[in-house]
Structure 1
Amino acid sequence: MHAQQIAPFRRVNPDILASQDLARKGLEDDVEKSLLAMALKRAAPVLKITGTPYQILDILLGLVRKEDLKAGGKPLVAISNEKLAEYADRSVRTVSRCIKRLVEAGVLSYSDSPNGRRFIVRDRSGAVDYGYGLDLTPACRRIDELRKKANEFQAKLKQDKQARRFVIARARAVKDTASLLGELGHEILTRLEEVLALPLDPITRAAAVDEIYQEALDKQTNLACLGDKNGVAISNTTPSHIRSSVEDRWHGSSEPSLKSCSDNEAYSSVEEAFENKHAASTADPQKKMCDQQRVFQPQGPLPTSMLAGVSIGLLEQAAVQVREVLQSPIATWPSLFAITEDLRHLIGLSEAGWKAACAAQGQHLAAACLLVVAEKAMRYPEAISRPGGYFRAMIDRANGGKLNLQKSVFGLINMV
């Protein structure tokens, strides 16, 4: 028996009722806990879930049991607002408002008891017999929708980023072109400044700036064609006595002149010069080898000594769950850097915490630690309730020179 009701003291609205309706239908299919967490955290910006509501959601995802996410189950979390306030370091009233925000966002629903207490009674198999608490059924039923929204949001962010870069490049090109047009360039610069000042979205602004750039190019082309005339004779204005003196100096130099030697002599001179050059290059093969080693010698040390013995190949072998969830290979460091945003959302790490880690230990070690924490959080969610704090602790150990990342990586590989 699964009670699904709202306490009479709550003020309901259409969004809350929609979440309650989703929760009444129960789970139709099994839901992977890691996939649910990934979908919710990636879709959080779209659902306007940030700050404390995001932290509360992360705590609830850590407390829900895997067995309750099976088909026909009930993913209930029986935790009081007081305990959540203690975990989140917020007031009870703030926690209550955050839970309401999550319910209105369609990822949570109320399952209230008559006296307001939250508890769960399980049968001998461990399944929920009946209980009251916070229900994650709406999020489980919307997992495909949340993934789609997250992908669309990421694509929109990427498109906007490219449009902003395009605007910067085109605006610089317009200014350079306008500087060559003189008086005509002032009008173009004025139009450019007006477009940049308008509150336009990045794609519309990029189209407007590109139109101004094309107009500037047309004006530059028309200006360059002004005064062109055909059939203008080009005469040699160099006096003959200057030309003869130049030829005398040329013939008096050490270089062979085509007029002063035959074809065979010219070719023999070229061959002799080539042989001398080849002999000089092969005179000291040891020196040449040293020069090549100097050219191909790595420029600078490794990013950090903490990565000694940890290659990107070992990290890829260790991150089995991460590669399966993200569907992304980790064959190179750039490919790892490309998924750090998803990994950060996966463990609930703030952008400020990530930037601080990169500033303290560099992007390579920070990305490696992020990957290890995400993999551990997926394999052992009960052991790591706060992956974000676990990551910060690893960076603190690295700051003190006590981090043994190699041991963690090989431990994950051996447990595969």
Structure 2
Amino acid sequence: METGSITTPFGRRSMTLGMLASQVMAGEIKPDQSVDKWKLFRALCEAKPLLGISDRALAVLNALLSFYPKNELAQENGLIVFPSNIQLSLRTHGMAEQTVRRHLAALVEAGLLLRKDSPNGKRYVRRDRAGEVNEAFGFSLAPLLARAEEIERLAAEVMAERLHVQRLRERITLCRRDIAKLIEAAVEEDVQGDWQGLYLEFRDLVEGVPRSPTTAQLELLLDELTALRAKILKQLEMRMKSTKQRGNADYIERHIQNSNPESTTELEPSFETKQGATPEQDNGRGAVTMEEGRGEIAHPSRQEERQGRRPGARDDAGGLKSFPLGLVLQACPEILAYGANGQIRNWRDLMTAAVTVRSMLGVSPSAYEEAANAMGPENAATVMACILERGGHINSAGGYLRDLTRRSEKGEFAIGPMLMALLRANAPAGRKAG
């Protein structure tokens, strides 16, 4: 039989202990041992990361297996194949002969093939008068048969690892979705908490993962995201319990506001008008009118003061809530360039900048005034900042604003998702207001 003796390579190729060990192992094949060559090849393709072979080397091995006349690799059928490099090049779809030789050497080095070289280094076969193979010189497939169980075990390990990584990625995706939507819900409902900080922590975790993470890195990311989600849920649960104990269903809508209009640290929305109301402001905090260039300041009606409307709250007509000024500027940093001296310290500065942006984008005064009446002046300024931020994706800023106004009047528009999407896009920039 072909594997019954030790052979050394032809020419200047040196003999190594690894080649000797492969020959010894191939000589221990059981007489009745056999394996389907294509099933084994599929297992090799799965196990290639652990075997250290490339896909090009596997293509050469596939060509060698195609020269084996039987589907079952077995000692009784012979285990030597002897195609020339030209034939191998044709069956590897035109691979260069030098490349074929390099990958053949890699397969021998990996212990998947054995060379059985003839005295002159050529590959050929001697047959008897009956046409049966008497002696063949070429490449022995005996190592494949001898290592069949090992290769199938390695393939199973790779498949199990792939399934584990797939499940890790699925759980990470679900955890990311939960965190993003929980933070968005907290911002929508005006729940007190450092949601900007939590969101930035969330983005730092996600963006810190390399393009091709290892299994250990994925497991660590999942643990950190799970802990962050639990932290967010704990804050929301404490808020719900506090609301239930107070017995006030509207409590979750309340928040604390800095009443100083010139404060540089104002992070909460200042006021919101009902649909159809005039965008006015009390205590000297004037709102810029919608007429371009007038810059007039209107004062509130005393009736609104007596009604005790809370700044930033959801009104009875279902109007939009305003969002914290700091959150708006973090999501829409481009609007800062249109503030006085490149700064926006309060809502009045933002609304003044929005009028400038409105003119620059070609939005008519009437379209902006309708938006202010439907959404409230703060929300209209916020939407204008969002339109500026997404200017490259919007063909007609005026038409887009009118569409949002119509949707707002029907109760079909919310600013929260728009702000959160822009916040996600601009999180790495880390620019601050003022």
Question: TM-score w.r.t. structure 2 length?
Answer: 0.48
Larger Rg: 2
Question: TM-score w.r.t. structure 1 length?
Answer: 0.49
| Structure of higher RCO (CA pairs closer than 8 Å, 6+ residues apart) | 1
